[in-house]
Amino acid sequence: MSELLLKLFVPKGSPDDPEVRSRCGLLSGITGIILNILLVAGKLTVGFIAGSVAIIADAVNNFSDAASSVITLIGFKLAGQKPDKEHPFGHGRIEYIAGLIVSVLIIFMGFELAWSSIEKIITPEPAAFSYAAMGVLIAAILVKVWLFYFNRKISKRINSASIAATATDSLSDVVATTVVLIALIAGQYTDWPIDGIAGVIVAIFIFKSGWGAVKSTQAPLLGRPMSKELADAIDKLALEHENILGIHDLVYHDYGPGRAIVTFHAEVPADGNLMETHEMIDHVEREIHEKFGIEAVIHMDPIVVDGDTEEMRELVENVVKEISPEATVHDLRIAEWDKIHNVYFDVILPYGLGSTDEEIAQKIKDEIKEKSGFNAVLHIDHPFIEG
C-alpha cells in the first residue's frame, strides 16, 4: 500500500527536489489527517459509551496527531516556496520548524495523558467493557503500525526530520493504545485503578519519544555539524586536484533540505600561477555542486613548500599530536627577520580535552619555544564535522 501511494502521488526524482519533497509532505499530511480523524471519531464514540477516561484520552492523543499532520502539511507547503527578497536562501528551514512543533505536541500530550491518568488513579471509576471498544482499539493499533512504517518510508526517502518525528509519534501511539486495550480487558477482573496506572506508564513513554524527537529536529535549526561521510567525500574530491595540498575549516551551512552551502579553505602552492589556481578552485566549486547539490565557496590559502617550512611543520604537528591525536595543523608559515623568529599556524582541536583553549595554547607555545627557539603565534579552533 505504501509503495502504491508513493508511485501514484510522488514523482520520481532526487530527494532534494522541492517538488518531490512537497508531494511527500502532502501525502504524509493528508493520510495522517484522514486516518487520525477516523480514529478520533471511533474512540470518542466507544469511550463515552464505555465511560473510559483512558480511551477518551487516547482519542485526544489522536486528535493531536491530526493537528500535527496539518502542521507538517503546512510546513512542507511553505518550505517548497522559492527564494524571495526577504528570504534569499529559501524557506527550507520551515520544515525543521514544523518537525519541532510536532515534537513539542508529542510532549504536551504526554503531560496531558499523565494528568488524566493520575486523576483516574486518585478517583477510580470502572469502565464498562465492550467488544466494540476492544475492536476499535485493535483497529487503531493496526492503523498506527501501518502509519509508522508508511511515514518512516517517506522520511527515509527524502531524509525528513519532521516526517520522522511523525513516524515516532505513530509508534508511541501503538504502545499507548495497546496499554489502554490491556487495561480495558484487565479492568474487568480487578478493583485496582489499572487504567490510570497504565496511562502513567504510557505518558512517560510518549514524553521520552517526544523529547528524542525534539533533539533530532532542533539540531538543524541551531546548526548541526557536517556528516563525516560528506566531509570525507568533499575532501577526496578536492585532493584529486594536483595543486590542492590540503583543505581545512570545512563548514556546512544548512538552510533546509536541498539548500545547503559548504565553505572551506584550500591550501595551494604559494609560487603557483594565480589565474590557473583560481580557475582550478572555480572548477572544484562546480564539481561539488554537480555531485552533491551543494553550493561551495572555497578560500585559497597559499602556503610555502620548502625544507625549512616542512621541518617546522613536522615539529609543530608532533607537539600538537601529543595533546590529542585527532588535532590538526594548517596555515603554517615562518617569519624570520632581524632577531624575530616566529611560526604562525592554526590548530583544530576536538572538544572535551579537559583544559581551556588558552591553557592548551600556552602549552604548545612553551613546547615549540623549548624545541626550536621559535615563538609560536597560533589560533585554536574546533571542528564543524560529526565525530
Condensed to tens digits (0 to 9), the pLDDT of residues 306-343 reads 778 888 989 999 999 999 998 988 888 888 776 778 99
Q: Cell numbers of 149, please? A: 512504517
Alpha helices in the chain (DSSP H): 2-9, 18-50, 53-79, 93-122, 131-158, 161-186, 194-222, 228-239, 274-292, 307-323, 357-372
Sequence-distant (≥ 6) Cβ neighbours of residue 34 within 8 angstroms: none
186-216 tens-digit pLDDT = 877 877 877 778 778 777 877 877 787 787 7
Element (DSSP H or E) covering residue 337:
strand 328-337
pTM > 0.75: no
95-127 tens-digit pLDDT = 778 778 877 887 887 787 788 788 878 887 766
String of DSSP letters for 177-203: HHHHHHHHHHTTS--S-HHHHHHHHHH
Domains of the chain: 2-222 (1.20.1510.10), 228-381 (3.30.70.1350)
Element (DSSP H or E) covering residue 377:
strand 375-381
DSSP 3-state of 159: coil
Q: How confident is the model at residue 285 (pLDDT cuts 50, 70, 90)?
A: very high
Query: Cα separations (Å) of 241 from 11, 88, 238?
Result: 37, 32, 6
